[in-house]
Amino acid sequence: MITIIGNGKMALAIAKGLNGECEVVGRDEAKLQKFCQESGVKKYYLLNNFDITNKTIILATKPYTLELLELKGKAKEVISIMAGKKIDEIKKYIDSELYSRAMPNVAAEYLASTTAIYGSNRAKEIFDKIGKTIVVNSEKELDIATAIAGSGPAFLALVAEAIADGGVLCGLSRELSYELTNGLFKSFASIDKKPSDIKDSVMSPAGTTASGYEALEENNVRNGFIKAIKSAYNKSQKI
């Protein structure tokens, strides 16, 4: 049995992806009941002095709450999805045989998360159930991956919204523009090529794509996204 400590949006997405085959722990009983109703989880427990002995835990609380956790016993494994919190710091507050870190994203609910993993094979096996896992070699790489895999859906949502707005500006209905944009993202995800190769296969000389690409470069879109990843990573180092 997997125990999820925390009942926020990411915890809910993971629980749904695991088809409710886990238990959840939190501070607010009303919120825990709602969590179970939405996720299919059958058991919940209050956090105060919760016994973690021999449990496999996904630690899904906010980073600032780490030192406030009231747990007893020694876990079998702690898998933290808290941004920026290093294993050495987690060890100060939670006793466990093994420690791992992971960074999934909200697509876990749809079994489509891309999850960066630093740690055990057991952690990888768990997150393999909710999408694709990518093993990294250090906690620094995990923090950088957090900016891409964890924050990335919000950045891509901005891209999707802007593309759809562009379609509306040119005369499409909002509904049709969103449908085309959603289809675009699904099509892109199915192409197993480097981004530069995809771009080159679409962009013909003096064509419509080249004209649009010029507009993006003129508005520093590429630089903006590079800085967004760097900013998200830098923030993880200050949490």
For the domain that residue 72 is a member of, what is the CATH number? 3.40.50.720
Same domain? For 83 and 166 the reply is no
In the chain, the number of structural domains is 2
Q: Show pLDDT as tens, one digit a residue, over the chain (239 residues).
A: 999 999 999 999 999 999 999 999 999 999 999 999 999 999 999 998 899 999 999 999 999 999 889 899 999 999 999 999 999 999 999 999 999 999 999 999 999 999 999 999 999 999 999 999 999 999 999 999 999 999 999 999 999 999 999 999 999 999 999 999 999 999 999 999 999 999 999 999 999 999 999 999 999 999 999 999 999 999 998 87
- The burial class, CB within 10 Å (0-12 / 13-18 / 19+), for 195 is exposed
Q: Is residue 146 part of a domain?
A: no
One domain, residues 158 and 110 = no
Q: Is residue 65 part of a domain?
A: yes
| 98 and 127, same domain (yes or no) | yes
| Cα–Cα distance, 181 to 79 (Å, whole number) | 35
Q: Within this chain, do residues 74 and 177 fall inside the same structural domain, yes or no?
A: no
Q: Is residue 100 part of a domain?
A: yes
- Give the pLDDT of residue 239: 79
Q: Are residues 77 and 165 in the same domain?
A: no
Please check whether residue 218 lies inside any domain of the structure. yes
φ, ψ for residue 117 (rounded to 5)? -125, 135
Q: State the pLDDT at residue 238.
A: 83
Supply the range of the domain harboring residue 158. Answer: 153-236
Is residue 147 assigned to a domain?
Answer: no
Chosen domain end from 111, 138, 165: 138
Dihedral sign for Cα 83, 86, 87, 92, please: negative
Q: Is residue 144 part of a domain?
A: no
Q: What pLDDT was estimated at residue 70?
A: 84
Same domain for 9 and 103?
yes
Same domain, 10 and 112: yes
CA atoms of 10 and 49, how far apart (whole Å): 23
Last residue of a domain, one of 109, 138, 167: 138
